[in-house]
Chains A and B, each alone.
Chain A
Amino acid sequence: MKKTINIPIGSQHIALLEPVRFKFECENEKIVGVDSDVGFVHRGIEKACTTKFKYDAIGYVVARVCGLCAITHSMTYTASIEKLIGGEITQKAKYLRILLLELDRIHSHMLCLSHTCENAGFEAMFMRIMGDREDIMEIQELITGNRVQFDYISIGGVNRDIDAALAKKILSKLELVRQKVLGYMDEFTNNWSLSLKFKGVGILTLDDAYRFNAIGPLARASGVQADVRNEIDYLPYNEIGFKMQKHTEGDINARNLIRLNELLNSIEMCNNILEGLPEGEIFTKLRGKPNGESVVRFEAPRGELMYYVKANGSAMLERVRIKTPTFSSIPAFSHIFTGANYADAPAILASFDPCLSCTAK
């Protein structure tokens, strides 16, 4: 007689936005083993980048790998091509690129926080956070023209400009959002029934984080000091006021607090950029075709993203390889699920913030 039962969370489930299949082996409500199946979203993008598209159109194709971190993919690809061609872009274009990257990080973290609250049963908080997130979507629509996929970065600079009247409108909206986020901090730390669901659940210790190679907010909540924005030099992050956040407990509550603190830091960085924007052109035409190999890393909202590009002087590239953050965190997932209660599984899954369409591109 078998002692364990298999329970699937299948590819269509109301708690998941994306198709992934987990099979849990449970013994009387405690999870004993996990079997995961990703790969429902594989579309064949890397092969098509070398046969169907030319090197200047790939920036728009690669942005459609994921809808939440779209502009990070586009930015990393463009940076690797600019390294191969050689040539400088203006300071104003660099600051405008950072502005949009940080706005993208703000809306992605708000979506993750509201999804975690909904899976823990607190639906009123989900509606409140989604209602305040609409201000950020309006700002993105005023700057770039679309709410979710902004095709803003091209090789040599950016596509649209910001004038003084628009900058004033954006500053007043960001101030409203900042007051609301301070209200959420209060709610997440002092609410008694939420702390029963979040404190002490789904713990990842410091040794395990080093052993299973965790990255992103997951690792920073356990005490690892690793952030790619500290280590790069082609975007001026050290001039705007970037601070790295750190906690030591490693449970769901610590991950939520890290995301909230990163939100406040991003709003401060956007304010600094808008007040001190220099004058200049936004686009310089770079001549020549790419030749050679290059590797570029950047920090997406979920961890570290890496691109490897190989070209040989013609309009078609030879190889494009993408390494996404969720793909590196899958061993850490499977380790945290063993030993937890079955009823906590949706809340733990949402606090990881998985982006399956990045994983199986």
Chain B
Amino acid sequence: MLTSFFKALANLFKTPKTIDYPLTPIAKDEKYRGVIEYNQDECIYCLKCEKACPPGAILFVPVDNPPINEKNKKGLKYHYNPHLCIYCSECVRACPKPQEALWQSNKKGHIGIKDDKINDDWFELEELKK
């Protein structure tokens, strides 16, 4: 009983372990697994990343005004959903040009609110694919 009293008194003068999160930002390592980023000009539209993704978070869908690239023969556009992705980076390992067309950054996903309609829009894109 007396030892716990002395321990509590000693703890009063030590530095706290808490990091004051929203006010002091925490720096992330550069190899942290964050969102996937894409460069439209270098892509060769081989569709290997779409077949390699386990939950299906990358979709190439035919649209009306597609991006202009000489390899894009069927008029496809790249769509990515950070709320379906599991951040395993299988797509980066399957891509033939891994650091120029598709790479993994160390930023985190954005927080969605009700007006973004995350789930409803993705169901529409899956319908267009079939």
When A and B assemble into the complex, do they touch directly, with CB atoms less than 8 Å apart? yes
Residues of A bordering B, CB below 8 Å: 53, 57, 60-61, 64, 131, 141-142, 145-146, 149, 151, 160
Complex-state Cα separation, A146 to B28, whole angstroms: 11
Complex-state Cα separation, A60 to B33, whole angstroms: 15
Complex-state Cα separation, A60 to B89, whole angstroms: 11
Complex-state Cα separation, A149 to B33, whole angstroms: 11
Residue among B29, B32, B33, B88 with the most chain A CB within 10 A? B88
**A145 and B54: CB pair below 8 A?**
no
Q: Known A146-B87, A151-B88; judge A57-B52 contact (CB<8 A).
A: yes
Instruction: Chain A residues near B52: list those with CB within 8 A.
Output: 57
A-B contacts, 26 of them at CB < 8 A, read A53-B54, A57-B52, A57-B54, A57-B90, A60-B54, A60-B86, A60-B88, A60-B90, A61-B54, A64-B86, A131-B17, A141-B29, A141-B32, A142-B29, A145-B29, A145-B31, A145-B32, A146-B32, A146-B33, A146-B87, A149-B86, A151-B86, A151-B87, A151-B88, A151-B89, A160-B31
Instruction: Chain B residues near A151: list those with CB within 8 A.
Output: 86-89
**Other A-B pairs, 10, CB within 8 Å; known A142-B29, A146-B32:** A53-B54, A57-B54, A60-B90, A61-B54, A131-B17, A146-B33, A146-B87, A151-B87, A151-B88, A160-B31
- Set B17, B33, B86, B90: member contacting A145, Cβ < 8 A: B33
Instruction: Chain A residues near B88: list those with CB within 8 A.
Output: 60, 151
Complex-state Cα separation, A142 to B30, whole angstroms: 10
Complex-state Cα separation, A34 to B89, whole angstroms: 46
Q: Mark B45-87, 1 if CB is under 8 A from A, else 0.
A: 0000000101000000000000000000000000000000011
Complex-state Cα separation, A234 to B97, whole angstroms: 35
Instruction: Chain A residues near B17: list those with CB within 8 A.
Output: 131
Instruction: Chain B residues near A131: list those with CB within 8 A.
Output: 17
**B window 91-118: CB within 8 A of A:** none
Which residue of chain A lies nearest to B31 when distances are taken between CB atoms in the complex? A145
Complex-state Cα separation, A151 to B91, whole angstroms: 13
Complex-state Cα separation, A92 to B88, whole angstroms: 22
Complex-state Cα separation, A228 to B63, whole angstroms: 55
Instruction: Chain A residues near B31: list those with CB within 8 A.
Output: 145, 160
**Least distance between B112 CB and chain A CB atoms (Å):** 21
**Least distance between A247 CB and chain B CB atoms (Å):** 27
Complex-state Cα separation, A149 to B54, whole angstroms: 15
Q: Mark B10-47, 1 if CB is under 8 A from A, else 0.
A: 00000001000000000001011100000000000000
Complex-state Cα separation, A53 to B86, whole angstroms: 15
**Least distance between B60 CB and chain A CB atoms (Å):** 18
**Least distance between A57 CB and chain B CB atoms (Å):** 5
**Least distance between A180 CB and chain B CB atoms (Å):** 12
Complex-state Cα separation, A149 to B85, whole angstroms: 13
The 7 A-B pairs of least Cβ separation, nearest first, read A145-B33, A151-B88, A57-B54, A60-B54, A60-B88, A146-B33, A145-B32
Instruction: Chain B residues near A64: list those with CB within 8 A.
Output: 86
Instruction: Chain A residues near B33: list those with CB within 8 A.
Output: 145-146
Instruction: Chain B residues near A57: list those with CB within 8 A.
Output: 52, 54, 90
Which residue of chain B lies nearest to A143 when distances are taken between CB atoms in the complex? B31
Which residue of chain B lies nearest to A160 when distances are taken between CB atoms in the complex? B31
**Least distance between B54 CB and chain A CB atoms (Å):** 5
Complex-state Cα separation, A149 to B29, whole angstroms: 17
Residue among B29, B33, B89 with the most chain A CB within 10 A? B33
**Least distance between A124 CB and chain B CB atoms (Å):** 9
Which residue of chain B lies nearest to A132 when distances are taken between CB atoms in the complex? B17
Instruction: Chain B residues near A145: list those with CB within 8 A.
Output: 29, 31-33
